[in-house]
Amino acid sequence: MNWLERIQNMKIALVLVAIIIAIGSLLTSNYLITDLQHEEKNRMEVWAEAMRSLNAADENTDLNLVLKVINGNNNIPVIVVDNHGQAMSYRNINKTFEAEEDSIAYLSRLAKQFMQEGRVIRIDLPEDYNPGDYINICYDESLMLRRLAVYPYIQLGVVVIFVLVAIFALFATMRAEQNKVWVGLSKETAHQLGTPISSLMAWNEILKDSYPDDVLLPEMEKDIKRLERIAERFSKIGSIPEPKPEDLTDVLNRVVLYMEKRFGSKVTFTVHFPDDSVIVNLISSLFEWVAENLCKNAIDAMEGSGSIDIYVGEEESLVYVEFSDTGKGIAKSNFNSVFKPGFTTKERGWGLGLSLAKRIVEEYHKGKIFVKDSQLGVGTTFRVELPK
């Protein structure tokens, strides 16, 4: 199982844990809320019975227990209204309304709202009142019950934040590990190339002294310098080289010249550059690597024969380079996948070229690289954007 699969599995596991916690929290809270609602309803029925006893009491009735029950309600909001919906008394209601001109009307409206929500208990009055008279005990949920109803959503938000932080930390950790692999591999490659390159340079000097007129020696020297440049590129991966002002067209011309010599007349390179120099902060050896990778991928997509057009242009805050080929194209669903390590459509290949190009453009040049356009069977255009 590779690291991409491990990340995917850990993400799925974290999401599943979050879902289980959220469902468990919601079910538990709902169970507790239902129990509290029943308990508060029972308490209000007892309170309503105490009110009925108070209204039916005479001078011989002991009201100590009744008053104790009535005064014992310190958290459930209650409004007592008559049979006409007029508020008579209240308890545990926010008293800020008393500053209003008509507090009775406010209480009546609030009691009507409680009744519409089904929280009302009717009490018929004794016979010495007008026949058919009654009062309604209208009540609301307690503050504790309302807070408990909101709590699972707060908890759910905390779980979501936890999962997001965990996924972010996971990505950061895996990215750090990936960076270590990249840097270690690059440094080791540069180190391993150093010894044979030094030997080749020494042998080249000996051959120049022995065969000064040999026409092949200059070409060998060019190849050795090419190897030196490759080793230099690997050595800069993982370090923080300082970009320097470079003429972008000169850098690209060097790449085109090298690619034309390597692939001959089967591949036609056409450049579309501005007349003036395009100065951009570049690490030239690394950016050449990006351009070469894009050109090599284009040649592979064209199966070794076709044309590549390179466009350079400027916009308000950036400089762009576009590489257009006449290859087989890329499916739109793979526009982002082509930059992932290991993604390749070739029978042979590691799928690291575009991934490395993306890292060089984004991390070392603070730019962007993406597939601008592609049509199957027609060709593909990659776009690199660099800040001015």
Q: What is the CATH number of the domain that holds 354?
A: 3.30.565.10
Tens-digit pLDDT profile for residues 31-48: 888 888 888 888 888 888
Last residue in a domain, options 139, 161, 176? 139
Least confident of 74-78, 168-172, 308-312: 168-172
The residue among 327, 325, 324 whose CA lies nearest residue 303 is 327
How many domains are contained in the chain? 2
Contacts of residue 122, defined as CB under 8 A and 6 or more positions apart, other chains included, come to 134, 135, 136, 137
pLDDT digits (tens, 9 = 90+) for 184-202: 666 667 667 777 878 888 8
Residue-range definition of the domain harbouring residue 328:
241-387
The mean pLDDT of 46-53, rounded to a whole number, is 83
**Is the residue at 156 inside a domain?**
no
Query: 262 and 125, same structural domain?
Result: no
Overall average pLDDT of the 325-337 stretch: 88
What is the rounded (10 degree) CA torsion for 9, 11, 15, 18? 110
In a domain, 56, yes or no: no
In this predicted structure, the answer to whether residue 365 has a pLDDT above a threshold of 60 is yes
pLDDT at 200: 83
CA–CA separation, 319 vs 311, rounded Å?
11
Quick one: which of 328, 235, 249, 339 has its CA closest to 293? 339
pLDDT tier, 239 (very low <50, low <70, confident <90, very high otherwise): low
Query: Above 70 in pLDDT, residue 290?
Result: yes
Asked, for residue 92, whether it belongs to a domain, the answer is yes
pLDDT digits (tens, 9 = 90+) for 148-171: 778 777 877 887 787 788 778 777
d(CA 202, CA 204): 5
Tell me, yes or no, if the pTM score tops 0.75. Answer: no
Q: What is the pLDDT of residue 384?
A: 96
Residues whose CB is less than 8 angstroms from the CB of residue 34 and which lie 6 or more positions away in sequence, other chains included:
none
Residue 251 has pLDDT above 60, yes or no: yes
> Which residue carries 């934040």 as its tokens?
161
230: pLDDT strictly greater than 90: no
Is residue 181 pLDDT above 90, yes or no?
Answer: no
Average pLDDT estimate for 247-276: 90
**Kindly report the CA angle at 154 between 153 and 159, in degrees rounded to 5?**
95
CA distances from 355 to 143, 367, 385 (A): 56, 14, 16
